[in-house]
Amino acid sequence: MNPIIQEQNRGKTLMGLMLVGLGILFLLGTLDVIDMRIVWWQWWPAILIVIGLAQVIAPASIKQGASGVSLILLGLWFFACFNHWYGLRFRNAWPLVLVIFGIESIVTAIFQRGRKGAQQS
């Protein structure tokens, strides 16, 4: 199978799974099984993590894969700040955002260098 088609199918599958999950979540909210205000406020960073996972699993480019890593880490950062993990709050954890985007730059550079080295061989 053509790798481009295969990559598009993975992306569509992940998007479909995400829509099914959101649909179930909203259905449970409309049936008053769960309180959507609480769920949304506590769990919205999971959307960043899922999008990041989709980019890491089926990246169109090295940059997109590295961006996926950043989205995953950013989602975890939001979870940490909202839930005060290890005493982290927005006012004292903001430097971690700089670290996250620095990691994205490093990952991009490492994989681009590795690709260039493989092409020269």
CA 32-33-39 angle, to 5 degrees, is 90
Token pair belonging to 4: 């481009």
d(CA 27, CA 82) in angstroms, rounded, equals 25
80, pLDDT greater than 90: yes
Q: What is the per-residue pLDDT across 28-66, written as a single tens digit (0 to 9) for each?
A: 888 988 887 776 777 889 888 988 888 888 787 888 888
d(CA 59, CA 74) in angstroms, rounded, equals 18
Can you give the pTM of this predicted structure?
0.70
In this predicted structure, what is the pLDDT of residue 78?
Answer: 94
The CA-to-CA distance between both ends of the chain, in Å, stands at 26
Nearest by Cα to 8 from 54, 69, 76, 74: 54
Q: Which residue is associated with the tokens 């309180």?
A: 35
> Confidence class of residue 116 from pLDDT cuts 50, 70 and 90?
low
Greater pLDDT, 112 or 105: 105
The residue ranges of every structural domain in the chain are 3-120
CB atoms within 10 A of CB 46: 14
- Cα separation values, 46 from 103, 112, 117, Å: 20, 28, 36
